[in-house]
Copies of this chain bind each other. A is one copy, B any other.
Amino acid sequence: MAKFRLDEVDHQILDMLIDNTRVPFTDIAKKLLISAGTVHVRVKKMEDAGIIKGSSLTIDYKKLGYSFIAYVGIFLQNTSQTKFVLERINLIPFVTVAHVTTGKFNIFCKIRAKDTEHAKEIIFMLDDIDGVYRTETMISLEESLNDKKRLMHDIFREL
């Protein structure tokens, strides 16, 4: 996998766009004291390089009734079933992420549900998959996400 080096201007453009993808290029240009054309060229370069993969809205799932988050560790009867089980897990829409991991569990996933009742249904679906030996659930009582801007700044600057 190729590794790209971005300069300070690229970083600042990314920072602004990560914060809000709809910020006009003209605003970015004004703030960074460069032309809008330059912003356009830089963004295109990063898109072509695949550093910018796309953009997405941040949705408030709580407002839509999905405030329950849990992590579920899965023990398999046999690791050879990993691929099969992963495929089955991906068919359950409320499982938002699944990882094959080393350590305690074979597969580890995150679920987002309406409430405990709904979460129970999802966990039962996971338990019912062939090859799943047992599961262990951790309910999230509080989520704390790192500030995107700071993450970008600190992580990328030191590359």
Contacts and interface: CB of A to CB of B under 8 A. Distances in A.
Interface of A: 1-4, 6, 14, 17-22, 49-60, 62-67, 69, 71, 86, 89-90, 93-105, 108, 112, 136-146, 148, 150-152, 154-156, 159
Copies of this protein in the complex: 2
A81 B145 CA distance: 19
A35 B105 CA distance: 51
Contacts of A56: 18-21, 55-56, 58, 148
A3 B137 CA distance: 27
27 contacts: A1-B62, A1-B63, A4-B63, A6-B64, A14-B57, A17-B57, A20-B55, A21-B56, A51-B63, A51-B64, A53-B59, A55-B56, A56-B56, A59-B152, A64-B159, A65-B159, A66-B155, A90-B144, A96-B151, A98-B145, A101-B138, A101-B139, A101-B141, A103-B138, A103-B139, A105-B138, A112-B155
